[in-house]
Amino acid sequence: MAVVLAKAAAFVAIICMGYLLKKAGFFHANDFYLISRIVLKITLPAAIVSNFSRISIDYSLLILCVIGLICNIVTIIVGYLMNLSRSRKDKAFAMLNMSGYNIGNFTMPFVQSFLSPVGFAATSLFDAGNAVMCTGLTYSLASTVAGEDEVPSIKSMLKKLFSSVPFDAYIIMTVLGIFSIKLPSVVIDFADTVGGANAFLALLMLGIGFEINMEKEKLKDIVKILITRYAIAIAMAVGFYFLAPFNQEIRQTLAIVSLGPVSSAAPAFTGAIKGDIEMASAVNSLSIIISIAAITIALIVLL
- Stretch among 41-55, 92-106, 252-266 having the lowest mean pLDDT: 41-55
pLDDT surpassing 80 at residue 183: yes
Q: Which residue has the higher pLDDT, 128 or 24?
A: 24
Q: Check whether 300 has a pLDDT greater than 70.
A: yes
User: Given phi > 0 = left and psi -120 to 50 = alpha, else beta, which region is 104?
Assistant: alpha
The tens digit of pLDDT for each residue in 85-121 reads 899 899 999 999 999 999 877 898 888 888 888 898 8
Q: Side chain identity at 21, as an amino acid letter? A: L
Kindly give the residue spans of alpha helices, DSSP state H, lying in the chain. Answer: 2-23, 31-38, 44-52, 63-81, 88-97, 108-114, 117-132, 138-146, 154-162, 165-178, 185-195, 198-209, 219-243, 248-257, 266-272, 277-302
**CATH annotation of 2-302:** 1.20.1530.20
The dihedral over CA atoms of 182, 131, 201, 191, expressed in degrees to the nearest 10, equals 10
Roughly how many angstroms between the first and final C-alpha of the chain, as a whole number?
A: 8
Residue 265 vs residue 38, higher pLDDT:
38
CB hemisphere CA count around 250 (13 angstroms):
17
The residue ranges of every structural domain in the chain are 2-302
Query: Which band of pLDDT confidence, cut at 50, 70 and 90, is reported for residue 69?
Result: very high
Asked if the model's pLDDT at residue 152 lies above 80, the reply is no
Q: Is 197 helix (H, G, I), strand (E, B) or coil?
A: coil
Q: pLDDT tens-digit profile of 2-46?
A: 777 787 888 889 989 998 999 999 998 788 888 888 988 899 889
How does the average pLDDT of the chain come out, rounded?
87
- Per-residue pLDDT, 1: 66
Residue 150's pLDDT band, with cuts at 50, 70 and 90, is low
Give me the mean pLDDT over the 239-265 stretch: 93
pLDDT tens digits along 225-240: 999 999 999 999 999 9
Residue 57 clears pLDDT 80, i.e. is over it: no
* Higher pLDDT, residue 232 or 266: 232
Mean pLDDT of 184-205: 90
